[in-house]
Amino acid sequence: MSAPVNELKAALLRGEQQNGLWLTLANGTLAEIAGKAGFDWCLIDGEHGPNTLQTIAAQLQALAATPANSVVRVPIGEDWVLKQVLDLGVQSVVVPMVHTAQQAAQIAAAVRYPGKGVRGMGAALARASGYGSIVDYASSANEQICLFVQIESAEGVDNIDAIAATDGVDGVFVGPTDLSADMGFEGRLNGPEVLAAIDHVYTRTKAVGKIIGTVTFDPDDFQNQMDKGVQFLGLGADSMVLNQGLQALAQKGPR
């Protein structure tokens, strides 16, 4: 038996649009609700969400019973962090703050087993292999990994050609908020310099045939991002949707 097919990666490679939701509240019940809402994927945020390995595992279990594909953003691209998340059964990962091709290559190696990488051989004990029931997991897992590296600095923009071309990097994800701040335009995500930098990343990523990803919290921007070639598109976050929905409901109450 081989590693499960990564349906998200397969859909992206077929050129299909895949839209999702950021999960930041570290709650399995909320993940289950989101997974049944109609999103193609749900991303568990280990960078800015209050997640631990245990809360990530609980959300993966909740999402497994829904049509949505699971993605995890790790807090940092360290080998040991990636190894632990992959052993939970994650097949699609987003790694923040990637500034150089050397970083990208190190991360690409960390998420794959020897032959193509340096991932530790311990998944037979873990959820990734069905706790040992997927006997060919280690020999088949590499091709099912989908790796997005996140560009969110001026240095990353300058190095985009080499980063995007790195073997083992499946896609490039732009983080517009951190990018704008690093460029000296904090809070001005739509500043002309920031938009030009983002468009440059998109163009260079497309030039090497890699997948483009980003997240936007403006529904009026969804089609614009897709028109620019963003195939892996975050449509918002659970915390913001909940906050806005509750505020709107409270305002409708009798006074």
Catalytic site positions:
48
Given a contact cutoff of 8 angstroms between Cβ atoms, the answer to whether 211 and 249 are in contact is no
Phi, psi of 173 (to 5 degrees): -115, 125
User: Which residues are registered as beta bridge partners of 214?
Assistant: 174, 233
DSSP 129: G
**Spatial separation of the C-alpha atoms in residues 231 and 23, rounded to whole Å:** 19
Distances 36 to 32, 62, 93, 146 between C-alpha atoms, Å: 6, 10, 21, 22
Distances 115 to 39, 89, 109, 141 between C-alpha atoms, Å: 34, 20, 9, 12
**Spatial separation of the C-alpha atoms in residues 173 and 209, rounded to whole Å:** 14
